[in-house]
């Protein structure tokens, strides 16, 4: 098989894995399906066929999911080959001089965690971190969950590869938002990747979206004459190789310039470039110094710095209790963009830099992306560490962990810590207000705009402030206000769910609303003895309900909201609960309903229950393709559960669509 054909097959496999996994995710979340069972099975069969043809199975392939592994500790192992670092230069002329009249291969210097992988008989058998270059930690189970790593490859001989595990900037931002403990917060994708790759539970690694990019073949039974041939072969085995280009003395400067433009838009972290002699034998003959091999050199961009004036230190409280210092300075141009602020990380950094308002500071973009303070030229040290939380006004404390000082708000009732509840309040199945991410809500709290849920309905009083917030403008503001206006009409179960009462998801909210005939007054004043007799509630949930409703501040929040919103009482056209006690799972394409939610609503209106998984408690599986070989059909047949078409189900219970 030619390399071009094989590469096309591998590219198609990545595409199929992405499509199938996305379809499965949507399907199992109970949302409208994005493809039919027929299309899914067809793509699945195509993927299986390509896996057999190429001998490659990707780690995320639905044809062979990897089981997770939990370990008590990561075992250590000595590398069979020293994993050396590289000599470095920031001078492109020096880079050109180093290359001389030789051909070289230029590629990214990725900023992640070096991982050495071993394949034997076509299977991934071992993965070890770089460690100190001599001894690393064995992370084989975790490596098998990397997003793009092949578990099997066509080559059956033993090979050892060196690559970089990394987390993309987009995933880093999403993951970091959801880490609640202060000590677990990560400062950059590299720290997050290191913590993710070295987890004792591989399930956690899998949730972190770690990618693996190969950049060299350490050991193999195959002899390659050039690095280019080696890299092409690596790609033919199903690996994603780090991006690379062939360079000469005459082209290296232009290629470096090309990469310096690309890095501004890259989603993956990189802290420079690597150049390796294309002639492998020549590079090996050069040997190595005590620290570096002579066949390669790293190039790091000289950071573009600018001098500006520090205007203030903004202290921003977060949902973890950590109060982060942010430097605000006179606007400067860096790497083609205007920069006005930079994270200062913690109290220790403020003290080390001896920051003071009015100081002359030099700033740069780390890896040409993240604004940082390089130096303080004045060092007046007049910044005062606040003794009060900027959000709640409570006394702050300075925490010292491993000689790193951080500022903390210890108040559990601090508004900044309520971001999760506010995010829940505006979510789609609750009040359904678009345009309010956790990050946006955090900004609104910092601006003292949001103190309680009803404040979301008064955002029009702060138009100018919101428009000028990072990431906002007039259009996004207008869309937000429109969404808020639309959310004022809400179904009672969604409103109850939005309150975030412990244990009361949307399903239980619907149960309690039905029991009290959608009467909000009766619902708010429900007694414990009344609640415990409702099917699905019980003593624990009844206590949670009573505790919530007896809290004066919670009750006031509800009253304030009811003065603003309109509860839409559902029109109940049927009085018969013919589906009471019936549990239904819906799968496949529908013919009589626009989507599954419409059929689900009808079933619930007649007293039935709709779940996402087939279990022993399932009464019917609705699937218009009864002969389908889908997982749910197979499960239903195993458990003796009746599979019924949508039309026959409606006829069986004389239901009206």
Q: Biggest alpha carbon distance in the chain?
A: 88
Q: Torsion over CA of 533, 539, 540 and 542, rounded to 10 degrees?
A: 60
C-alpha 232 chain-centroid distance? 31
Say how many C-beta atoms besides its own lie within 10 A of residue 122's C-beta: 19
CA angle in degrees (0–180, nearest 5) for 576-582-588: 110
Spatial CA neighbour of 586 closest among 40, 41, 27, 19: 27
What single-letter DSSP state applies at residue 633? H
CA angle in degrees (0–180, nearest 5) for 539-544-550: 120
Q: What does the block give as tokens for 181?
A: 């403990």
Report how far residue 440's alpha carbon sits from residue 443's, in angstroms, rounded to the nearest whole number.
Answer: 5
Spatial CA neighbour of 126 closest among 156, 159, 157, 165: 159
- From the candidates 109, 510, 514, 609, give the one annotated as an active-site residue: 109
Spatial CA neighbour of 270 closest among 259, 281, 279: 259
Spatial CA neighbour of 447 closest among 434, 461, 429: 461
- 168 classed as catalytic: no
Report how far residue 558's alpha carbon sits from residue 431's, in angstroms, rounded to the nearest whole number.
Answer: 13
DSSP calls for 260-280: HHHTTT-SS-EEEEEEEESBH
Report how far residue 547's alpha carbon sits from residue 503's, in angstroms, rounded to the nearest whole number.
Answer: 12
CB contact burial 186-213 (16+ within 10 A = b; e otherwise): bebbbebbebbbebeebeebbebbbbbb
Spatial CA neighbour of 206 closest among 164, 251, 171, 234: 171
What is the residue whose two structure tokens read 């075992």? 75
Say how many C-beta atoms besides its own lie within 10 A of residue 418's C-beta: 21
Residues marked active site are found at: 109
């Amino acid at each position: 098989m030619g390399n071009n054909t094989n590469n096309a097959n591998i590219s198609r496999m990545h595409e199929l894995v992405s499509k199938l996994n996305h379809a499965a995710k949507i399907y199992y979340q109970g949302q409208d399906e994005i493809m039919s069972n027929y299309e899914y099975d067809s793509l699945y069969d195509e993927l299986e066929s390509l896996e057999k043809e190429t001998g490659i199975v990707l780690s995320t392939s639905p044809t062979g999911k990897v089981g997770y592994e939990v370990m008590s500790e990561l075992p250590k192992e000595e590398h069979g080959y020293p994993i050396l670092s590289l000599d470095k230069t920031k001078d492109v002329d020096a880079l050109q001089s180093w290359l001389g009249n030789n051909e070289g291969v230029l590629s990214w210097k990725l900023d992640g965690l070096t991982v050495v992988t071993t394949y034997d008989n076509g299977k991934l058998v071992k993965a070890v971190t770089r460690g100190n270059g001599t001894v690393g930690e064995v992370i084989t189970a975790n490596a098998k969950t990397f997003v793009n790593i092949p578990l099997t490859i066509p080559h059956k001989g033993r090979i050892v590869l060196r690559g970089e595990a990394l987390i993309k900037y987009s995933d880093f931002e999403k993951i970091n938002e959801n880490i609640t403990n202060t000590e677990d917060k990560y400062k950059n994708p590299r720290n997050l990747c290191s913590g993710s790759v070295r987890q004792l539970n591989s399930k956690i690694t899998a949730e972190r979206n770690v990618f693996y990019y190969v950049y060299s073949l350490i050991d193999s039974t195959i002899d390659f004459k050039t690095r280019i041939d080696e890299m092409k072969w690596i790609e033919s085995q199903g690996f994603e190789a780090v991006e690379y280009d062939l360079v000469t003395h005459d082209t290296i400067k232009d290629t470096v310039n090309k990469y310096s433009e690309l890095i501004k838009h890259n989603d993956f972290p990189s802290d420079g470039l690597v150049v390796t002699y294309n002639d492998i034998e020549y590079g090996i003959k050069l040997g190595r110094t005590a620290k570096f091999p002579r066949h390669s050199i790293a190039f790091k961009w000289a950071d573009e710095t600018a001098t500006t004036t520090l205007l203030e230190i903004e202290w921003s409280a977060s949902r973890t209790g950590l109060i982060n210092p942010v430097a605000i300075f006179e606007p400067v141009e860096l790497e083609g963009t205007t920069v006005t602020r930079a994270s200062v990380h913690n109290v220790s950094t403020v003290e080390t830099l001896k920051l003071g308002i009015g100081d002359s500071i030099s700033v740069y973009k780390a890896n040409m992306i993240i604004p940082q303070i390089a130096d303080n030229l004045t060092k007046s040290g007049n910044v005062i560490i606040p003794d009060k939380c900027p959000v709640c006004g409570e006394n702050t404390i300075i925490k010292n962990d491993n000689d790193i000082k951080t500022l903390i708000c210890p108040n559990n009732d601090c508004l900044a810590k309520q971001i999760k509840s506010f995010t829940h309040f505006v979510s789609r199945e609750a009040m359904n207000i678009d345009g309010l991410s956790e990050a946006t809500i955090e900004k609104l709290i910092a601006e003292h705009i949001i103190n309680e849920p009803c404040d979301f309905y008064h955002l029009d009083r702060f138009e100018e402030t919101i428009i000028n917030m990072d990431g906002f403008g007039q259009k996004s503001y207008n869309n937000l206000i429109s969404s808020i206006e639309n959310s004022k009409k809400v179904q009672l179960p969604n409103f109850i769910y939005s309150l975030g009462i412990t244990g009361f998801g949307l399903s239980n909210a619907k149960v309690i609303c039905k029991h009290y005939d959608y009467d909000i007054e009766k619902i708010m004043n429900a007694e414990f003895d009344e609640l415990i007799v409702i099917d699905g509630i019980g003593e624990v949930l009844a206590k949670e309900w009573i505790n919530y409703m007896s809290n004066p501040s919670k009750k006031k929040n509800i009253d304030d909201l009811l003065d603003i919103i309109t509860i839409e009482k559902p029109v109940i056209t049927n009085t018969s609960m013919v589906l009471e006690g019936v549990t239904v799972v819906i799968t496949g394409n529908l013919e009589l309903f626009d989507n599954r939610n419409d059929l689900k609503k009808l079933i619930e209106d007649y007293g039935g229950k709709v779940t996402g998984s087939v279990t022993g408690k399932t009464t019917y599986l609705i699937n218009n393709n009864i002969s389908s070989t889908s997982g749910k059909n197979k499960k239903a047949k195993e458990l003796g559960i009746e599979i019924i078409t949508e039309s026959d189900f409606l006829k069986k219970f004389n239901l009206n669509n």
